[in-house]
Structures are given as C-alpha cells and as structure tokens.
Structure 1
C-alpha cells in the first residue's frame, strides 16, 4: 500500500509539535461509507537497547481473525523520547512496514492514542491522516480524566480532557483491566468501540495488537540476536 509520508521528519520537539498542529485539522471523527471493515490491521513496534527498532503490521480477516497479510520493517530510533511525541519515534519505520503490505486494510488499529492525547493528535490520528484509512487507538493507559467502567464485558466510561470527550474506557474482559479507545481518523467513537469488542473475543487486547506484538518481537530478536 502507498502512504503519503513527509519528505523529512522533524528532528526536534518543537518541529514535531508544529507538525501535529498542522495536521490535526485533517482528522475526521465520523464514518465515511458503511463502516463495515472486512479486514483490520494491527500496528506495533519493539525497541532494543542499542536503538534498533522493529515495526510490524498484521492484517486479519475481521470475521475469522486469521492473518491475510503481514509486513515487517527495521530501523533505528533517532527521535528522543518526549511524552506526547511517541509517533515521531515510531512512524518512519511503521510506514515502511505499511508500504510493504500487498493489501490495503480497511481499518488500522494502533497500540497507542488517537484523540485522547494532549494535542488531540496521537499516533492513531497521525497514521490515519497519512494513510487516508480509518484508524483507532487502543491504549493500556489514558491521557485525561475518567472513572472506571462496570466490571462486565462491554462496560464503558468516557475519557475527557478539559471537559471534552476524547475517548472511552472499555472493558473487554469481565473483571480484567479495561483498555482505552480513541478515534484516530475516519471513524466515530461508537464504531471504534464496537470494532475493539469484535477484535477481543478471548483476550484483553485486540487480536490485531496481540499478533502484531508477537511479530515485531520476533523481528527484533532476529535483527539483534537477542
């Protein structure tokens, strides 16, 4: 698949924040079309202490949750760790992995934030805008304020920043810690949560994320011998 990546990536935090501010108005927080996703892709990455980075994409059939395509790319982390700017450490190599795919997924599921982000432009928003594909963020923790949802599967509560709803706390397994879902691009929050529930029939994390996590870790071990 093809991705509209920038010719040059930011090298400083100020440049990165400026790019987020420039691209944020491009985010669309509603469904375009039928909102039926035949395939969903998980995006994840892994780091080594020496700076080696592996990004993986796993495309699943949404009905069977079986893989239909995978891709891996390796790179070196050059952007410093700055809270709220994680995308700039991961995106260059993640995009390289996406460009290796032989198929274009209907939905991208990122292990990170979308609108639930200090500047409402997290990794899922950035990937969605650059690819032009529906995208959602599914994170293990939250930016913003929230109360715990009920204990049953499917229970939710809102995540807010300065009183604005930016995401949802979603219980995917009864009695297990919830995940934090936010819109990335070209999808609404209700649809995003429904997709996450469909992708979590057995585990807390979406199957897309679980399989992408396994693949990127394997790729990192192969690259580093560790």
Structure 2
C-alpha cells in the first residue's frame, strides 16, 4: 500500500490535539462503505512492559482476510519503540507510526479495515479508526473490547447475536454496543471513515461467526503478540 502522511508525528500532547482537530472534519461517517467487500483487514498492537511510557517496545500487526471465507490472504508486522507516551484520548499516536509501517508493506489493499480501538466514540470524535481511515482513504471502523466514552442502556440490549444498543455521549450517538454471540459481552463499534454504522456493525458480525471478537481482531492480536515475542527473544 502507498500511504502519504499529511503531518509529522507530534512531539507533545498539544501538537497531537491540534492534528486531531485539523483532520477531524475530513472523516466521513455517512459511508455507506462497500456493500460486499472482498478483503477485510484487522489491525492490532502488542506492548512490552506496562504499555504506558515512551520507548516501550511495540509490535503492530495487520491481517488481511478473504471477507467471504475469513481465510488469511496476507499479513504484515512492524516492531519498534513507542515515541509518544500514553495520554487518554491520544492513544492513536502510540500505535499509528508502526501500524502505518505495517500497512505500507502490504501487497493487497483491503476494502475495509476493522481496528481494535475507537473511531467516532472518542472524546474529540477522532479515535484511532478515524485517523487511520483519513490517512489511508480506506473505509475504516473501530471494534473495541471496552467503551472509552459514552454509555448505553443495558436493558435495551437483547441477549441474542446481532442485538445492539446505541452508545451515546452527551446526547449524541457515537457508536453501538453489539452482541456478536448469544449471551456474551458486546463489542463496541464506531465509525472511522467512509463507512456508516449499520455497515460497520454488519461487517463486524460477519467477521465474528463463532467468537465474541471478530476474526480480524483475533488474528491480528495473535500475530502482534507473536511478533513481539520474537522481537524480545
């Protein structure tokens, strides 16, 4: 993949917030996104140490799957040191440099990317999925294990696979709690770029035929952990 960065990586929190504010209007949350994508990508990052400081060793992974069979088509990793500390709301700046490096090494360009993280469900409405989508121009959504901002009414969320409830923050819908398997905890889906929430949830469900987390996340998580283990001996 060819990716041209429109900004340098920030040196501090003020620069990072300024980048988010500048790029946020470029994120398209109306989609609709591809109706029948051929390739889905999952992205995740594994951390050595406590994951909070600079100079921590990180391993980023991208797994490209056949959207119909969920079989692996291609995968890529990048290992390096964090250059930005953990700051709530600016988490993307720890992961983006290595994720971009891994994406650049792909021969196949995915039709949709599903990130282990937030998109619109972010205090400044510009989480990792939004940033990645704007940088790459690809339809992107966040599928998070836990909510970061906002909440939902548990009584409104059914127990069966496919049940959902709006995730709201300050009266604004920012995403959706989505039950991917009967009786399991939901995942939290939010739009990143060039996709709408209905499409993002539909693709998340399609990628999670047997487990709570979609295969995009499960395989990217495993690959990032394996790359980190190999890098640390």
TM-score (normalised: structure 2): 0.94
Aligned to 2:25: 25
Cα distance change, pair 114–169 in 1 and its aligned pair in 2 (3 A): same
Query: Can you give the 5+ residue segments of structure 2 that lack an aligned partner in the other structure?
Result: 50-54
Q: Give the unaligned 5+ runs of structure 1.
A: none
> Taking structure 1 as the reference length, what is the TM-score of the superposition?
0.97
Where does structure 1 differ by over 3 angstroms across 4 or more consecutive aligned residues? none
Per the alignment, residue 186 of structure 1 pairs with: 194
Deviations 1:28-48 (A, max 9, x none): 112256432111000001011
Pick closer, same or farther for the CA change 1:34–1:44 going to 2, 3 Å.
closer
Mapped to 1, the partners of 2:31 and 2:141 lie a distance apart of 12
Q: Which moved more, 1:134-143 or 1:32-41?
A: 32-41
Distance 1:101 1:184, change over 3 A: same
* Cα drift, residue 4 of structure 1: 2.2
Note if contact 2:58-2:82 (Cα within 8 Å) is conserved in structure 1.
yes
Q: Do the aligned partners of 2:176 and 2:190 also contact (CA within 8 Å) in 1?
A: yes
CA distances 1:111-145 after superposition (whole Å, capped 9, x unpaired)? 00000000000000000000000000000111102
Q: Please name the residue that 1:5 is paired with.
A: 5
The correspondence of residues 55-204 of structure 1 with structure 2, limited to 5 A, is 55-142=60-147, 143-148=149-154, 149-204=157-212
Across the aligned residues of Structure 1 and Structure 2, the Cα RMSD in angstroms comes to 1.1
Once structures 1 and 2 are overlaid, which stretch shifts more, 152-161 or 27-36? 27-36
Shift of 1:52: 1.0
